[in-house]
Structure 1
Amino acid sequence: MMLVELTAPPIEALPVAGLRTHLRLGTGFEIAEDATETAALAGFLRAAIATIEARTGKVLLARQFRLRLDDWRDPEGQPLPLAPVTAIERVEIDDGAGRITVAAPDTWGLQPDMQRPMLVPRGAWLPGVPDAGFATVTFSAGFGAVWDAVPDDLAHAVLLLAARYYEDRGFEGNALAVPFGVSALIERWRAVRVLGGRGVSRKRA
């Protein structure tokens, strides 16, 4: 399995002003609102968002992803590794020789779920994947395109973690530490990662 992020949230969608206010209240220092400082704060926010997403499997801000699979785990339904998935744009089958077939949209659909969304067939099975080939699923996921769409506890966890990264900048030993308060905020969103699906992979020519 290979998952690639195709798009990234624009800086305008990041809560830079909220982090600036949070830091001001937390430390008492004024933060200059210039381009350099804004870029730095955005970087801490992106790092915090990536950490929260990695620990929960939830995509905070909407963006597009591409999932490549050697085969479906189960032809009756392929679990997707992120949530919430808002749309599946395209399903493609590559025969391994460079010939790509786009599966007709009326042959598959999205089964939404906050923990385990799935690509499901409209008929009996998902399209067959040749032995030397692979399947590619392009989909969009995220709570929304703006920060206000992110659940409050996850949004607050991001601000706390970004502030920690800001305060610990330059100290690489603390870079991977997640404060207890952040862990407590995200705990209910964490899902057991069962990417394997329901059955056993079966190649079908």
Structure 2
Amino acid sequence: MIVTERTQIPDAALPRDAFKAHLRLGRGFGTATLQDDLLSGFLRASLAAIETRTGKVLIARDFVMTLTRWRDASGERLPLAPVTEVTALVRVAPDGSEELQDQMQYHLDQDAQAPRLCPTSAGLPQIAKGGHMRVEFTAGLAPDFDSLPADLFQAVMMLAAHYYEHRDDTGLHRGCMPFGVTSLIERHRIHRLALGGRS
């Protein structure tokens, strides 16, 4: 299984002004936009880290999943959450030819923790040996940063500020995330069962 992000958040949609205010950076000077690219990078890194830690996509965008076989033809669990829409299901033959599947053959089970692509009848469409299925879908908690829950918005700002303030510190261990950030995102985490316990 391969999951690819089809659309990215444009720079204009990043809350740079709010981030500058959070950092208490000076305003009204000729150099006010000098760090914009740097700040955008920290915001994107913070967003990616929090999405990875929570298991949820924060800002809505489009994704593509390709797989050579269903793990469960009675209902395939999608790797991201929350999924708001499955936009297309395309069967790709070994020779590369494509067949768009009828939307009446499947539906989305919009579970906030574990969304699934489910068949409307006996099973999901068959995948030919040597071919694959392409699932196109949209996932995300909010359409933009301003629409995020307040705790997640604050977590993005705090982690981006942490990255900014420690940008020259090469001694930070892998996965370093301030306690305040982990506290804010804890209720949004997807807890998966593994080996009889939570992970």
Common fold: TM-score over 0.5: yes
Check conservation: 2:26, 2:32, Cα contact below 8 A. Answer: no
2:26 to 30, 50, 57: 30
1 CA distance for matches of 2:66 and 2:53?
A: 21
2 CA distance for matches of 1:18 and 1:154?
A: 14
The AA in structure 1 aligned to 2:80 is L
Q: Secondary structure at the match of 1:140?
A: strand
The AA in structure 2 aligned to 1:149 is S
1:139 to 134, 137, 153: 137
1:33-69 Cα deviation digits (max 9, x unpaired): 6333122111100000000001111111111000111
1:4 aligns with 2:4: yes
1:43 aligns with 2:37: no
The AA in structure 1 aligned to 2:13 is A
Check conservation: 1:13, 1:145, Cα contact below 8 A. Answer: no
Check conservation: 1:160, 1:182, Cα contact below 8 A. Answer: yes
Structure 2 gaps of 5+ residues are: 194-199
The AA in structure 2 aligned to 1:168 is H
Question: Residue in 2 aligned with 1:16?
Answer: 16
2 CA distance for matches of 1:130 and 1:162?
A: 45
| Aligned counterparts, 1:34-113, within 5 A | 34-113=32-111
Alignment coverage as a number of residue pairs: 190
Question: Residue in 2 aligned with 1:197?
Answer: none
2:150 to 137, 149, 152: 152
Q: Secondary structure at the match of 1:116?
A: coil
Q: Secondary structure at the match of 2:127?
A: coil
Check conservation: 1:67, 1:136, Cα contact below 8 A. Answer: yes
1:132-154 Cα deviation digits (max 9, x unpaired): 22111010111222212211111
Structure 1 gaps of 5+ residues are: 195-205
1:177 aligns with 2:173: no
The AA in structure 1 aligned to 2:128 is P
1 CA distance for matches of 2:192 and 2:34?
A: 38
Offset at residue 193 of structure 1 (A) = 4.5
1:65-101 Cα deviation digits (max 9, x unpaired): 0011121111111111111111111111122221222
Q: Secondary structure at the match of 2:41?
A: helix
1 CA distance for matches of 2:84 and 2:34?
A: 34
1 CA distance for matches of 2:170 and 2:104?
A: 50
Offset at residue 184 of structure 1 (A) = 1.2
Question: Residue in 2 aligned with 1:118?
Answer: 116
Q: Secondary structure at the match of 1:166?
A: helix
The AA in structure 2 aligned to 1:184 is S
CA RMSD of superposed structures (Å) = 1.7
2 CA distance for matches of 1:127 and 1:48?
A: 38
Percent identity, please: 42
1 CA distance for matches of 2:83 and 2:171?
A: 35
